[in-house]
Amino acid sequence: MLNVESLDRVDLCESLLTWIQTFHVDAPCKTVEDLTSGVAMAMVLQKIDPSYFDENWLNRIKTDVGDNWRLKISNLKKILKGILDYNHEILGHQINDFTLPDVTLVGEHSDASELGRMLQLILGCAVKCEQKQEYIQTIMMMEESVQHVVMTAIQELMSKETPVSIGTDAFAELDKQFKKTTEELNDALAAKEEIAQRCHELDMQVAALQEEKSSLLAENQVLLERLNQSDSLEDPNSPAGRRHLQLQTQLEQLQEETFRLEASKDDYRIRCEELEKEITELRQQNEDLTTLADEAQSLKDEMDVLRHSSDKVAKLESQVESYKKKLEDLGDLRRQVKLLEEKNTMYMQNTVSLEEELRKANAARSQLETYKRQAVELQNRLSEESKKADKLDFEYKRLKEKIDSLQKEKDRLRSERDSLKETIEELRCVQAQEGQLTTTGLMPLGNQEAVDSLAAEIITPEIKEKLIRLQHENKMLKINQEGSDNEKITLLQSLLDDANTRKNELETENRLVNQRLIEVQSQVEELQKSLHEQGAKAEDVRTQRLRPHTHDRIYGPMHSNGQYSHPCTWPYCPPYRKRAV
């Protein structure tokens, strides 16, 4: 079986890129750069489980990111969180030992290895969802090399998943585990620091030994040169031989110590790497336990609040007990309160009666105000009607003057007409006399027609033309005079009738208004008188009701002789109460 850790992450990314193209989403997904925006991966997740990765979740993924790596990182973070939540909430698994992808490298630098981790998480969601048989069948139909890499990635992801089984009643155990893990983490950190310090010391020691080795080698070289010049080193009895043996022994010891230190250094380095892995795991567990500890702390805070509330309840119960004891001792006070309530009821009845009388007085006052307002309105109306009457009187006088002038004009035209008639009669007489004078000695008197024909022959054409013109003018003047006179007389008569009618109406209305005003004034006077009497009666009643209580409270009880213990200075008090004892 192929191990994924030995598999190249770039090859894994290429194989998973080939697998993700089988979903046939609308977004481009052929290259690594196409997947860095996160849109194609979000669409694939929606196809895997549309109920969890719904439209609302998909709408939070920005589609138009372009080259903005910040928006790409934001989309990838949302997708990664959605995958982890889906594994935890829907599939019931938690990924512990799997290294999560670095979305910053994917979004900003298009890192293929980190993108392969992201696609591997999506692959895990696909092979564990409800439609897993369909997706597994699709994987089986791919090429053998791609299929082998994909199956190995699935096995690695499944080997690093643990089921989620944390109940709501396990906070105490989690707290203990959290403390234990914290202690182990502190011990591991202390051991790591100690090992790091030991490694540092060993590095310094190795460096010192290497320096010493180099110095010894240099010294050995010098000694060898000396030996070449002097005695042979093979002779152990010579000083150079003895020194050579001593140095050779020391050199072997130093080499053994160096080998031993290098081996211990490698051991410590391996131990340090193991401790770093343990620290990473412990940090992950620490984060999980921190979340659970926060929840436990919130529950503890809620418990403290409930304890505080229970303490308050106990205090309130003790107060209630004390109040109950006090209520048992309040029988006399209740009787006194009952008597005071009866007195208060009597006073309230008196107050209600006084308020009723005051309400009646206010109603009469409002009616009085209404009458006053009506009187003011009638007065204003009367003044307006008076102004209209004055205006109509003025128009009447003006029309009367106009009628007089027209009458004078009519008389003048009539006199002119009469003068014209007389002139015409005189002309006729003159014509007749002239005709008689010319026909007296020539022929006897005949019929009227002959005379007229003869007169017509005697009259000159100028006189005849003037006579015809005068007759025509007379006729036209008569017609015009009669028409204009009739029209003017009719018009003036109608205007005069209207003015007289309006004047009579205004006079009648004025009389009615005056009568109404007199009635309203009399009603106002009566209401004022009744209000004054009612106010005086109410004041007397109120004074008589309040006087005994007030004086008894302020000046003490009244004696049998009708006097008080203290002198009274109240201005409404009767004289016999002002006398001191």
Which pLDDT belongs to residue 529? Answer: 83
Provide the strand spans (E) within 76-232.
93-95, 161-163
- 9-165 and 350-555: same fold? no
| Ramachandran region, residue 100 (left: φ > 0; alpha: ψ -120 to 50; beta: rest) | beta
Surface-to-core class of residue 84, CB atoms within 10 Å of its CB (0-12 exposed, 13-18 middle, 19+ buried): middle
Q: Where are the alpha helices (DSSP H) in 440-460?
A: 448-458
Low-confidence ranges of the chain (pLDDT < 50): 1-6, 166-171, 440-455, 457, 549-551, 553-555, 564-568, 570-581
Residue 502, class by beta-carbon neighbours within 10 Å (0-12 exposed, 13-18 middle, 19+ buried)? middle
Beta bridge partners of 161: 95
Query: Which of these, 159, 37, 211, lies nearest to 108 by C-alpha position?
Result: 37
Q: CA-to-CA distance for 171 and 157, rounded, in angstroms?
A: 29
Most distant CA atoms of the chain, gap in Å: 231
Task: Provide the token pair at 278.
Answer: 């343990």
- What fold does the segment set 9-165 form as a domain? Actin-binding Protein, T-fimbrin; domain 1 (1.10.418)
d(CA 41, CA 39): 6
Name the phi and psi angles at 558, rounded to 5. Answer: -90, 140
Determine phi and psi for 95, rounding to 5 degrees: -90, 115
Specify whether the CB–CB gap between 559 and 575 falls below 8 A. no
Q: In this predicted model, what pLDDT tens digit does every residue of 50-102 receive, in sequence order?
A: 898 988 898 888 888 888 888 889 899 999 999 988 888 888 777 777 888 88
Integer Cα distance of 570 and 578 in angstroms: 8
Domain ranges of the chain: 9-165, 173-316, 350-555
**Residue for token pair 């979305």:** 103
- Non-local CB neighbours of 424 within 8 Å, separated by 6+ positions: 470, 471, 474
End-to-end CA distance of the chain: 128
DSSP strands (E only) in 28-79: none
pLDDT of 485 reads: 67
- How far are the Cα atoms of 21, 34, 45, 110, 151 from residue 31, in angstroms, in the given order? 10, 5, 18, 10, 22
**Rounded-to-integer distance, Cα 199 and Cα 268, Å:** 7
Residue 236, pLDDT score: 61
The whole-angstrom separation of Cα 104 and Cα 114 is 9
Q: Quote the pLDDT of residue 499.
A: 77
What was the pLDDT predicted at 168? 40
**Stretch (H or E) spanning 216:** helix 171-229
Which listed CATH number (1.10.20, 3.30.70, 1.10.287, 3.40.630) goes with 173-316? Answer: 1.10.287
Q: 187-203: per-residue pLDDT in tens?
A: 766 777 778 788 888 88
Looking up tokens 């006088």 gives: 397
Tell how far CA 143 is from the center of its chain: 60
Contact (Cβ atoms closer than 8 angstroms) between residue 400 and residue 492: no
Name the fold adopted by 350-555: Helix Hairpins (1.10.287)
